Amino acid sequence: MSDSAITNQIRKFRFQNGEITQAELAEQVGVTRQTINAIEAAKYAPSLELAFKIADAFDKPLEEVFQYRK
Amino acid sequence: MSRQEILSWSSLTFSTSVLFFYLIMVFGWPEAIPDYSDRFTKIFLNIFWIALAVELIIGLTEHKSKITKDERDEKIEAYGHKYAYSFLTFVLVAILFQMFLSNLFGEQGNNYLFLGSTSMIFHILFVVLFASSMIKRTTMIYHYRKEW
């Protein structure tokens, strides 16, 4: 599981949404805090379902939260 | 460190200690090395109990924690399974090939056996079982650690 080609704005949106912690976001979307940390650091590419859940938690469209790095 | 990673560490140490005890029990302490069997046995016995306790605690508290395993843990576990399965398959094929050769050449074939008797095959299978578990856990730990 090398560095993912998918980048994200999770950190930015966490702070824009009342500075919620990784643990709080993890609980909201049903994963462990370590997984959120790995996604945020672009070390792990989430499944499509999880990506939608994360975007939904921030009330943003998917493409605003996740970007594909060519 | 996630619960699944802690479980991987404890499972790895558990398998290692079981394998150590089994090898010492079956083959004895190697003559070429000075006899530290008492010291090593004490160390591995302690490791064995600690690992067992950790696994039991994690197992018993599994349902109390909200989220203990997710898609990333499953993906990492799949990597572990892949390598463990490949190793297990390779050894089983080697044993079957050995048995096939043995049957093909009859008595003469026994001279070329690298596994020896049937009891030796049992020991090898036992060792391989725990070795594959160690491979699985080591692979998982590698993937967990790689991310940090």
For B72-100, the pLDDT digits (tens) are 999 999 999 999 999 999 999 988 888 78
pTM for this prediction: 0.77
CA B127 to chain A, closest CA, distance in angstroms equals 29
Residues in chain A within 8 Å Cβ distance of B75: 1
Give the span between the Cα atoms of B12 and B56, in whole angstroms. Answer: 14
ipTM of the shown complex: 0.82
A30: left (phi over 0), alpha (psi -120 to 50) or beta: left
| φ, ψ dihedrals at A7, nearest 5° | -95, 170
Question: Which amino acid is residue B148, in one-letter code?
Answer: W
CA B144 to chain A, closest CA, distance in angstroms equals 9
| Interchain contact B82–A (C-beta under 8 A) | no
- The string of pLDDT tens digits covering residues B20-59 is 888 888 877 777 667 677 777 788 788 888 888 887 887 7
Q: Name the residue with tokens 């508290």.
A: B61
Pick from A30, A38, A41: which is nearest to B72 by CB? A38
Residues in chain A within 8 Å Cβ distance of B145: none
Q: Name the residue with tokens 């999880």.
A: A50
Give the span between the Cα atoms of B97 and B110, in whole angstroms. Answer: 13
Chain centroid to CA A23: 12
A30 vs B71: CB contact, 8 Å cut-off?
no
A38 vs B66: CB contact, 8 Å cut-off?
no
Q: Which two tokens stand for residue A65?
A: 């939260």
Chain centroid to CA B5: 17
